[in-house]
Structure 1
Amino acid sequence: MQVNILEAKNRLSGLVAAAEHDEEVIIARNGVPVAKIVKYSAPRVATSGAWKGKVSYSEDWNSAATNAKVESLFHDAPVA
């Protein structure tokens, strides 16, 4: 549905209720659409363990050789 600003001001609670029922509400100024009221949906937040089973890694990721190589990347890096 499309309503002009003055009508939207007078019917705001009803327009919000329409948006809550998945109806798209367009607000217009002099017949030109300028804003939209839509139902709010909260952003998804990743939970602890969300990546479990989705990422593979090497079995030796925590070996002495791997740790030494990572450490050398920090200590042997040239200073800019």
Structure 2
Amino acid sequence: MSEEYKAKVFKSGNSLALRLPKALGLEEGAEMRLREEHGRFTFEPVDAPKRKIDLTGIAGSMPWLKPLPREDFDDSPRDWHLLDRDG
């Protein structure tokens, strides 16, 4: 179910700004994408970069998990010469 909020436009320096209600849950400094279509405005968060997951803190808490030895991986020779586009 969607909520409806009122927001106020005000002057900030030489620009206009839109004061958004705190109830929207946005964080200060969040980058947003704004679209205008036929006089209607929509905004949405810009995709944030993917964060890496660090599992080093929990690795010892799962003793049943063992790392795979390197020799378990297939390291077959590759025919790199087939990629030569000039020849």
Specify if TM > 0.5: no
TM-score scaled by structure 2? 0.30
Which structure ranks higher in relative contact order (CA pairs < 8 Å, sequence separation ≥ 6)?
1
Q: Which of the pair is proportionally richer in strand? A: 2
Q: Which of the pair is proportionally richer in helix? A: 1
TM-score scaled by structure 1? 0.32
